[in-house]
């Protein structure tokens, strides 16, 4: 598990993917999310605007990222 620090209390899923350098553009984030490659706290997530908060775990394929502050 890799920890990713954010500077706010919450961040949208698509913004998190860009912040963590997991995608190079918003379009790439949208595609990843819509194709079902993302899980938040072990549940499939297909909403780009999903609010993530400290402690949430995001799984992309087999890699897990945890949001910290």
Domain ranges of the chain: 2-68
pLDDT in tens, 8-55: 999 999 999 999 999 999 999 999 999 999 999 999 999 999 999 999
CATH for 2-68?
Answer: 3.10.290.10
The Cα 54–Cα 29 span in angstroms is: 20
3-state SS track over 38-57: EEECCEECCCCCCEEECCCE
pLDDT confidence of residue 61: 86
């Amino acid at each position: 598990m890799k920890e990713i620090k954010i500077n706010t209390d919450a961040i949208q899923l698509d913004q998190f993917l860009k912040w963590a350098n997991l995608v190079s553009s918003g379009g790439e984030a949208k595609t990843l999310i819509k194709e079902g490659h993302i899980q938040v706290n072990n549940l499939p997530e297909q909403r780009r605007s999903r609010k993530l908060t400290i402690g949430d775990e995001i799984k992309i394929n087999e890699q897990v990222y945890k949001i910290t502050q």
